[in-house]
Amino acid sequence: MNAIQAVPATDIRALLLDLDGVVTPTAEVHRRAWAALFSNELRARGASPDYSDDDYFTYIDGKPRHDGVRDLLASRGIALHDGLPTDAPDAETVWGLGNRKNDEFARILAEEGVTPYPGSIALIDAAEAAGIAMAIVTSSRNGKRVLEAAGLADRFPVVVDGVRAAQLQLPGKPSPATYLRAAEELGVPAADCAVVEDAISGVAVGADGDFGLIIGVDRGVGEHALRRAGAHVVVSDLAELVEHVQTGALRWKQPNDRGEEATS
């Protein structure tokens, strides 16, 4: 999706990758689990309009689970008590609904498994060969479970997922806190890191955290939406970046305000 412009390879020393929708197609599993939850929940409450994929991208994608529940319900004028993280899945609380969704996600993952995107594995292999550090940063509390299911548990020395964020009392996306923590643990300044995200809330992290590069992966949210959120470059598959890593630089041109390609 993007033309090429020289950017020194030494500027990008680490990749901070979201998991669901970037490395693994588990975003689709999440979408199915959310749809199962809210299609029934909204219908039972007589709320309208019915749940749709647009709701996922607008209110849920990239956020901690309980924030997604709260924001989606608020969009229909529904307010529930937060409850507690230990609430049973049948509890009519924010955490209860979130745990119900997680049970459905775990069921689908266990029954169907998950295969990483081939293009993402190609980029991970190229980055590893080039000596570029990598970390996984995900709001999901299932981060390690997904990595294990995908056979990637040993590929990332740093994983900051929803469980780790809660332990460290870090706010979730769109706060840059989890990404900054991953950069710190890798020992790489934020300015030398590339954030790789498919969610609008995740892309917004880059600008707030002063990261050196924000790569949007368009898995359905749309190139223009990712650019508006702050992506410097948008690709449809991470395989598009492999050659740039192998040749020693991540490079592209960005359009200026007149739609012309300009160096920046």
Point out the residues that are catalytic: 18, 20
SS3 letters for 162-187?
Answer: HHHHHHHCCCCCCCCHHHHHHHHHHC
Whether the ω angle into residue 174 lies within 30 degrees of 0, i.e. cis, is yes
95 SS3 class: helix
Tokens representing residue 117 in the block:
């995107």
Please provide the DSSP assignment of 12-66 as one string: --EEEE-SBTTTBTHHHHHHHHHHHHHHHHHHHTT-SSPP-HHHIIIIITTS-HH
Tokens representing residue 232 in the block:
């410097």
How deeply is 257 buried, as exposed, middle or buried, from its count of CB atoms within 10 A (0-12, 13-18, 19+)?
exposed
Taking each continuous run of H as one helix and of E as one strand, the counts in the chain are 11, 8
Distance of alpha carbon 178 from alpha carbon 191, whole angstroms:
15
Distance of alpha carbon 77 from alpha carbon 231, whole angstroms:
31
Tokens representing residue 177 in the block:
């806190």
